[in-house]
């Protein structure tokens, strides 16, 4: 309904502007400057409403209380009934060129997982313009397996901010941008939401694209759709570092390549 209103308003403004031009040419005007300004304003409004009409709606809207359980990495490649359909996108379809790609590192994969690193990169017109990286003190020991994967030790996070101080700064960096993440629906967002609730800092209502879900739709020929599989498929890198900001940057590059399919 909203899209239809934008279209109608755009057409009405365009018609009014055209009539204004005709009236200005055919009828002597006492105040020509005012007529020209009115025509330019109508032209701008016609363009604005048409832009809003053509702008794509966000694919998902995150609601923390409805977020499904994060799954094990091996299981994350399988489509589920709760995965929203992703329509075909390409570089010219108007899909987000300005967004933040996000990633987190945690103490585990279960409901008691705590964040040990927040990372994000800000993308403007498809290019990285800023990055954010923050280690977080989880206030519990980091499992040896996690240290082996990420390289993050208890000593590294000992004097780092706790999640109640780290999350607000992370939100500030992300601003009101669309979030892009790999398996963000089933892992990153639920973990961030639980950590936000535990810390009492609130969780923003986030619109997002999930590169895992998009790749499952656009690249059905791949056996697996991990971030590692995609960066290798697109020739971006041979390995992922399992550090939040680095993985976020690779996710952004994957997203840009998916938009070109």
Into how many domains does the chain fold? 2
In a domain, 69, yes or no: no
| Residue 178 in domain | yes
User: What is the tens place of the pLDDT at every residue in 61-110?
Assistant: 444 434 444 443 433 343 333 333 333 334 334 567 899 999 999 999 99
pLDDT (0 to 100) of residue 2: 62
How confident is the prediction for the chain on average, in pLDDT?
Answer: 83
* Residue 89 belongs to some domain of the structure: no
Give the Cα separation of 109 and 105 in Å (integer): 10
- Nearest Cα neighbor of 84 from 113, 120, 57 is 57
Within this chain, do residues 124 and 192 fall inside the same structural domain, yes or no? yes
The CATH number of the domain holding residue 130 is 3.30.420.10
Query: pLDDT, tens digit, for every residue of 137-171?
Result: 999 999 999 999 999 999 999 999 999 999 999 99
- Top-confidence residue, 43 or 91: 43
Give the residue from 238, 236, 210, 241 showing the smallest Cα distance to 225. Answer: 210
3-state DSSP of 175-241: CCCEEEECCHHHHHHHHHHHHHHHHCCCCCCCEEEEHHHHHHHHCCCCCCCCHHHHHHHCCCCCCCC
Residues 123 and 246 in one domain: yes
Report the pLDDT value the prediction gives residue 3, as an integer from 0 to 100: 60
Domain encompassing residue 162: 99-259
The token pair that represents 114 in the structure block? 């705590």
Using CB atoms within 10 A of its CB, is residue 171 exposed (0-12), middle (13-18) or buried (19+)?
middle
Rounded Cα–Cα distance for residues 218 and 111 (Å)? 30
Q: Report pTM.
A: 0.67
Q: Is 129 helix (H, G, I), strand (E, B) or coil?
A: strand
Q: 84-96, pLDDT tens digit by residue?
A: 333 333 433 456 7
> Residue 66 is encoded by which pair of tokens?
């409805």
């Amino acid at each position: 309904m909203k899209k239809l209103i934008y279209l109608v308003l755009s057409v009405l403004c365009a018609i009014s502007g055209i009539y204004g031009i005709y009236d200005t040419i055919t009828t002597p005007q006492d105040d020509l400057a005012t007529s020209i300004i009115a025509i330019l304003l109508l032209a701008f409004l016609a363009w604005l409403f048409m832009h809003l009409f053509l702008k794509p709606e966000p694919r998902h809207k995150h609601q923390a209380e409805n977020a499904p359980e994060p799954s094990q990495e091996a299981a994350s490649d399988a489509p589920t009934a709760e995965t929203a359909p992703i329509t075909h996108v390409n570089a010219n379809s108007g899909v987000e060129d300005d967004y933040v790609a996000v990633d987190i590192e945690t103490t585990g994969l279960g409901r008691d997982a705590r964040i040990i690193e927040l990372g994000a990169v800000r993308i403007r017109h498809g290019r990285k313009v800023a990055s954010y990286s923050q280690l977080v003190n989880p206030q519990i020991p980091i499992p040896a397996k996690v240290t082996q994967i990420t390289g993050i030790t208890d000593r590294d996070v000992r004097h780092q901010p706790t999640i109640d101080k780290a999350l607000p700064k992370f939100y500030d960096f992300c601003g009101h941008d669309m979030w892009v993440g790999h398996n963000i629906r089933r892992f990153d967002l639920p973990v961030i939401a639980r950590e936000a609730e535990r810390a009492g800092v609130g969780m923003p209502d986030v619109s997002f694209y999930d590169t895992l879900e998009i790749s499952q739709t656009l690249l059905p020929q791949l056996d697996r759709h991990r971030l590692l599989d995609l960066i290798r498929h697109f020739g971006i890198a041979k390995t992922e570092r399992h550090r939040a900001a680095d993985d976020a940057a690779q996710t952004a590059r994957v997203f840009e390549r998916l938009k070109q399919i």
